[in-house]
Amino acid sequence: SIAILLYLARKFKTPDHWYPSDLQKRARVDEYLSWQHVNIRGKGSKLFLTKVLLPLLTGQPLSPEKLEGVTEELNIVLKQFEEKFLQDKPFIAGSEISLADLVALVELMQPVGAGYDLFEERPKLAEWRRRVEEAVGKQLFQEAHEGILNAKNL
């Protein structure tokens, strides 16, 4: 949860870039963390549930119309994310990675795990993903997402 991440960042005095002491940068992180739970998380999780879990539980294929609607909802928030949060910056809060970037990319991996490559036609988003993965460590990132990336194989 976001509350636990913030608690851990404060308790263990993580490097400043994760949850910046600079008030403007911190406001950008807080703004994203407040926005994401009903937008990126909400729409990304909905696509994952609709495309992977519901068919698995019900044994019924998903209707193309329903999948198209859920995908369009996600595409709308992805556009908002690029325009309002990434803009022309390397990361959400500026030039360094923060908890906002980490939370955002983790949430976006759910639709990817469902087989929807949302980075394919979004070069700005793909470049941001590459920067976040590099900042975290590509191998660690892949290990952390191994389960979700193999979910479509259930």
**Two structure tokens written together for 61:** 């294929």
Confidence check: pLDDT of 152 > 70: no
Integer Cα distance of 135 and 132 in angstroms: 5
> What DSSP designation does 30 have?
H
| Helices 64-80/40-48 angle, 10° precision | 160
> What pLDDT sits at residue 88?
95
Confidence check: pLDDT of 153 > 90: no
Q: What structural domains does the chain harbor? A: 24-150 (1.20.1050.10)
Q: How confident is the model at residue 1 (pLDDT cuts 50, 70, 90)?
A: confident
Per-residue pLDDT tens for 128-142? 999 999 999 999 999
> What pLDDT sits at residue 72?
97
Per-residue pLDDT tens for 14-68? 999 999 999 999 999 999 999 999 999 999 999 999 998 888 889 987 889 999 9
Contact residues for 56 (Cβ-Cβ < 8 A; gap 6+): 154
Per-residue pLDDT tens for 67-100? 999 999 999 999 999 999 999 999 999 999 999 9
What's the burial of 29, exposed, middle or buried (CB within 10 Å: 0-12/13-18/19+)?
buried
Confidence check: pLDDT of 150 > 90: no
Q: Which residues pair with residue 140 across a beta bridge?
A: none
Closest to 38 (Cα-Cα) out of 77, 87, 86, 80: 77
- Whether this model's pTM surpasses 0.85: yes
Q: How confident is the model at residue 154 (pLDDT cuts 50, 70, 90)?
A: low
